[in-house]
Amino acid sequence: MFTVEEMIEKMTLEEKAAICTGTSAWTTTPVERLGIPELMLADGPHGLRREINSSGLLSESMPATCFPTASCLASTWDVNLIREMGQALAQECISLKVDVILGPGTNMKRTPLGGRNFEYFSEDPYLAGQMSASFINGVQSKGVGTSLKHFAGNNQETQRMTISTEVDERTLREIYLPAFEIAVKQGKPWTVMCAYNKLNGIYCSENHRLLVDILKDEWGFEGLVVSDWGAVHDRVASLLAGLDLEMPGPRGLRVKAVVDAVSSGILEESILDEAVGRILRIVLKAAESPKGGEFDNKAHHALARRIASAGMVLLKNNGILPLKGQKKIAVIGRAAKEAHFQGGGSSHINPTQVDSPFDELRALASDSEFSYSEGYPADDSFHEELINEAVANARSAEVALLYLALPESKESEGYDRPDLDLTHQQIELINAVGAVQPNTVVILNNGAPVVVADWINNTAALLEAWMMGQAGGGAIADLLFGKVNPSGKLAETFPLRLVDTPATINFPGENGEVRYGEGLFIGYRYYDAKQLQVQFPFGYGLSYTNFTYSNLRVSNDKFRDVDGLTIKVDISNSGSIAGSEVVQLYVHDQKSELVRPYKELKAFDRVFLAAGETKTVSMKLDFRSFAYFHPGYKRWISEDGQFDLLVGSSSTDIRCRKTVSLVSTLVLPSLLTRESTLRAWLSDAHGKEVFTPLFNQFLAPMQKMLAGDDENGEIPPDTLNYLMEMQLVDLLHFAEGTLPGSPEDIVNNLLTQVYG
Ligand code: GLC
């Protein structure tokens, strides 16, 4: 068997150009004479969508397990469980002969209107990164590849193939890249999929800074970069920018353009070889895992149920749940009979089987009488008679279960949501049923937050069941009857109103651009900064038991940034039934040179506790847990100072806290320039040192002139503030007569002393 380098040596220019573009919708180009096989890629991310006819046009796919979608996965906060799901996905890929599954999707949820929020994990980059890394580790542990997507800044569906995401460097680095960075560094995905959109005016598929400088050089990514399907506009330009594999194929003209570009010298052959090498290493790695055989669809269905019940979030409960022996149960809503378990678009799976929520209820409570009413139509038309029938059903029951799913038209790849509301019919239905039945429980099937303020007061309980996957019907029954204790926690804030959301003013953009004007402040970062009330906060979720937190302690009260910190806290299950708690650790920087969100999630752990049991949870913080990206230094920096460690059961339910002192070991260069102000010179360590003698020399005459009739000869504060914001060179012009040289020469000389 040849090495990759030998293969590249032996390949013709035509063969090298060909392997960099797909040969079909889902496969790369083989080179039989050199024993180079094709690579088969297929969608995910929460199930395998291997098309039967490989048309590439969302045609029918082979049966596979439809697991819960990412918004449900993230609500488990369970990295081990997501890894287990990844392993099951890999087994299905092996069985259906797929080498790379196109997932996970890890774009930030900038707005709950995002049409693909069901496919993405969170509004928080740390949580999304940990979920993505565990997904990747699970799949790849079985010799199947993943495709971390969509890199980067693809946070809406509106004009997704052409729009330019306009985002400042700090926001990009602290919010929109970290989930990818964590996943690349901890998961080492075989492939990264570049997004359709432009990033600050340059298509991601042609963005050298994104694909080479950041992804490959800075983060050390060694796999291949594949385009989103149809995201390449100029194959030569994308190769020059580090985009290794164009999909889909075939694209004969694109291959020819590459051959011509190398032949004419426009494209260095070494750049083509770099892409070919990356592709070959993945192709050969994939070939090491034999494909074929069966997968255990029953076991995977059971796993899908376990994941769904761990990710569903109990948002309200007046005690009606878990159900206890009620004999007459009204079951209302089409989603009780037709499970709404996934979204539209490329992630749409052909499930091996689907649990009927209604049947799963009866299976767990065979001696109860269940009466069904449709409640609302499949679309968002209005039908009073459906409400009247449901009200009659609910009135005569002991409890009413309302299964509410957004219509297919409301959540999908390809378009964003028009609003955060349930349909008018559904809202009327909840209020009408709740008015006659105090024990009304609402179960939601949606991929992203909905506004509940119009109806939640008429409910006794609310369970967010998400896009729950094919086994979700059973998972709902497990939670309603208490077979499983709810433990899910929100990974995306539920706002009170759409107008309260961070992106409201700038979404979805106009004239080909969308400006991320809210900067760092998305999700809970925004609501904290605005001190805005929300319906349900990030990290929130109820249980049937209670947990207490105690004995928070740290490895050091004062520590160096490079040494990090270990935090321990004791968690007790003070209730009467076993359950899992997600312990969340947020960090608050008391003082920073640049603005920072009030707090940021930097660690979490999920712990299972029997009734009465206590366990110690240990979490580690490192340099990046305290650092922020400084656009002036173009790097992550730590600053000396006090940080509050906030440990809690949600982002607004902080149970214990501790202040620690960080000592930065960084030696940062000066940022002083010819334009720097007096304030900049006096606050820069190097600058102040070299500038003080001169400052004292020329300040004296200035003081007399500016102090006016102040008896202490002090310069009045408002005048001093005015001077502080002046460029030093301009200020020196005021003292020109007393200076040893021109202001420009003096400042240049100072800069020479600072920079050596
Ligand atoms: C789609 C999606 C991407 C998917 C790919 C292949 O347009 O953006 O997530 O993996 O094309 O279907």
Residue 482: inside a domain = yes
Answer whether residue 56 shows pLDDT above 90. Answer: no
Q: How far is the CA of 234 from the centre of ligand 1 (A)?
A: 19
Active site residue 359: no
Q: How far is the CA of 535 from the centre of ligand 1 (A)?
A: 33
Q: According to the model, what pLDDT value does residue 107 have?
A: 98
Answer whether residue 708 shows pLDDT above 80. Answer: no
CA distance 331 to 440: 10
Residues in the chain: 756
Helix axis angle, 125-140 to 79-95, nearest 10°: 40
- Joined tokens for residue 136: 């990747």
Whether the CB of 43 sits within 6 Å of ligand 1: yes
CA distance 517 to 89: 38
- Tell me, what amino acid is at 167? V
Residue 499: inside a domain = no
Q: According to the model, what pLDDT value does residue 735 have?
A: 79
The residue out of 465, 492, 519 marking a domain boundary is 492
DSSP label at residue 189: -
Indicate if 62 and 93 belong to the same structural domain: yes
Whether the CB of 102 sits within 6 Å of ligand 1: yes
Locate the DSSP E strands across 84-201. Answer: 100-102, 145-151, 164-166, 191-194, 198-199
Q: According to the model, what pLDDT value does residue 406 have?
A: 87
- Tell me, what amino acid is at 283? V
Answer whether residue 57 shows pLDDT above 80. Answer: no
Residue of 193, 196, 229 with the most ligand 1 atoms within 8 Å of its CB, for mutation: 229
Whether the CB of 254 sits within 6 Å of ligand 1: no
Q: According to the model, what pLDDT value does residue 254 have?
A: 97
Structure confidence at residue 59 as a pLDDT band (50, 70, 90)? confident
Answer whether residue 711 shows pLDDT above 80. Answer: no
Residue 210: inside a domain = yes
Q: According to the model, what pLDDT value does residue 325 have?
A: 87
- Joined tokens for residue 584: 């969340």
CA distance 512 to 159: 8
Indicate if 685 and 622 belong to the same structural domain: no
Give 590: exposed, middle or buried? Use CB within 10 Å, 0-12, 13-18, 19+. exposed
Locate the DSSP E strands across 143-236. Answer: 145-151, 164-166, 191-194, 198-199, 202-203, 224-227
Q: Whose CA is nearest to atom 11 of ligand 1?
A: 229
Indicate if 630 and 693 belong to the same structural domain: no
- Joined tokens for residue 186: 């901890």
Q: According to the model, what pLDDT value does residue 419 have?
A: 95
Cα 42 to Cα 39, 51, 61, 283, 554, distances in angstroms: 10, 8, 10, 14, 46
Q: According to the model, what pLDDT value does residue 511 have?
A: 97
Q: In what order do the strands lie in the sheet with 145-151?
A: 41-43, 100-102, 145-151, 191-194, 224-227
Whichever domain contains 177, its CATH number is 3.20.20.300
Whether the CB of 228 sits within 6 Å of ligand 1: yes
Q: According to the model, what pLDDT value does residue 716 have?
A: 82
Residue 539: inside a domain = no
The number of domains in the chain is 4
Average pLDDT estimate for 566-578: 98
Q: What does the radius of gyration of the chain's CA atoms come to, in whole angstroms? A: 29
Whether the CB of 146 sits within 6 Å of ligand 1: no
Answer whether residue 411 shows pLDDT above 90. Answer: no
What average pLDDT does the chain have?
A: 96
Answer whether residue 237 shows pLDDT above 80. Answer: yes
Residue 542: inside a domain = no
Q: According to the model, what pLDDT value does residue 54 have?
A: 72
Q: How far is the CA of 275 from the centre of ligand 1 (A)?
A: 21
Whether the CB of 346 sits within 6 Å of ligand 1: yes
Whether the CB of 70 sits within 6 Å of ligand 1: no
Percent of the chain at pLDDT above 70? 100
Answer whether residue 701 shows pLDDT above 90. Answer: no
Q: Whose CA is nearest to atom 5 of ligand 1?
A: 229
Indicate if 133 and 259 belong to the same structural domain: yes
The residue out of 630, 663, 696 marking a domain boundary is 663
Answer whether residue 11 shows pLDDT above 80. Answer: yes
Q: How far is the CA of 229 from the centre of ligand 1 (A)?
A: 6
Answer whether residue 663 shows pLDDT above 90. Answer: yes
Answer whether residue 713 shows pLDDT above 80. Answer: no
Whichever domain contains 351, its CATH number is 3.40.50.1700
Region of 413 (left: φ > 0; alpha: ψ -120 to 50; beta: rest) is beta
Whether the CB of 229 sits within 6 Å of ligand 1: yes
Percent of the chain at pLDDT above 90? 90
Whichever domain contains 564, its CATH number is 2.60.40.10
What would the pLDDT profile of 319-333 be if each residue is shown by its tens digit? 999 999 899 999 999
Please give the number of the atom of ligand 1 that sits closest to the Cα of 196: 8
Indicate if 587 and 656 belong to the same structural domain: yes
DSSP label at residue 104: -
Q: Minimal CA–CA distance to 119: which of 163, 164, 157? A: 157
Write the secondary structure of 135-151 as one string of H (helix), E (strand) and C (coil): HHHHHHCCCCEEEEEEE
Indicate if 469 and 618 belong to the same structural domain: no
Indicate if 262 and 129 belong to the same structural domain: yes
Whether the CB of 621 sits within 6 Å of ligand 1: no
Structure confidence at residue 408 as a pLDDT band (50, 70, 90)? confident
Average pLDDT estimate for 20-43: 97
The residue out of 253, 287, 321 marking a domain boundary is 287
pTM flag (> 0.85)? yes
Q: How far is the CA of 138 from the centre of ligand 1 (A)?
A: 21
CA distance 556 to 587: 15
CB within 8 Å of 325: residues ≥ 6 apart = 368
Give 555: exposed, middle or buried? Use CB within 10 Å, 0-12, 13-18, 19+. middle
Whether the CB-CB separation of 317 and 347 falls below 8 Å is answered with no
Whether the CB-CB separation of 684 and 619 falls below 8 Å is answered with no
Lowest mean pLDDT among 190-194, 290-294, 572-576, 683-687: 683-687
Q: Report DSSP letters for 527-558, one per residue.
A: HHHHT---SB-TT--B-SS-EEEEEEEES-SE
Average pLDDT estimate for 433-442: 98
Q: How far is the CA of 258 from the centre of ligand 1 (A)?
A: 24
CA distance 454 to 703: 64
Pairing of β 145-151 and β 164-166: unpaired
| Greatest distance between any 2 Cα atoms in the chain | 100
Residue 456's SS3 state is helix
Indicate if 217 and 363 belong to the same structural domain: no
Answer whether residue 703 shows pLDDT above 80. Answer: no
Whether the CB of 149 sits within 6 Å of ligand 1: yes
Answer whether residue 720 shows pLDDT above 90. Answer: no
Whether the CB of 279 sits within 6 Å of ligand 1: no
Element (H, E) at 637: strand 635-637
User: Domain limits at 345?
Assistant: 305-492
Whether the CB of 549 sits within 6 Å of ligand 1: no
Please give the number of the atom of ligand 1 that sits closest to the Cα of 154: 8
What would the pLDDT profile of 65-99 be if each residue is shown by its tens digit? 999 999 999 999 999 999 999 999 999 999 999 99
Element (H, E) at 604: strand 600-609
Residue of 41, 102, 247 with the most ligand 1 atoms within 8 Å of its CB, for mutation: 102
- Joined tokens for residue 440: 């009304």
CA dihedral 445, 448, 451, 455 (to 10 degrees): 10
CB within 8 Å of 343: residues ≥ 6 apart = 69, 116, 118, 119, 411, 412, 413, 447, 467
Q: How far is the CA of 105 from the centre of ligand 1 (A)?
A: 10
Cα 266 to Cα 88, 257, 261, 494, distances in angstroms: 45, 10, 5, 52
Answer whether residue 472 shows pLDDT above 80. Answer: yes
Residue of 27, 41, 43 with the most ligand 1 atoms within 8 Å of its CB, for mutation: 43
Q: How far is the CA of 216 from the centre of ligand 1 (A)?
A: 22
Residue 511: inside a domain = no
Indicate if 411 and 277 belong to the same structural domain: no
Q: Minimal CA–CA distance to 409: which of 454, 455, 377, 457? A: 377
CA dihedral 738, 741, 743, 749 (to 10 degrees): -130
Indicate if 9 and 156 belong to the same structural domain: yes
- Joined tokens for residue 695: 């400052």
What would the pLDDT profile of 605-622 be if each residue is shown by its tens digit? 999 999 999 999 999 999
Residue 529: inside a domain = no
Indicate if 234 and 372 belong to the same structural domain: no
Indicate if 69 and 138 belong to the same structural domain: yes
Q: According to the model, what pLDDT value does residue 577 have?
A: 97
Answer whether residue 719 shows pLDDT above 90. Answer: no
CA distance 141 to 121: 21
Choose the catalytic residue: 124, 228, 528, 589: 228
Residue 656: inside a domain = yes
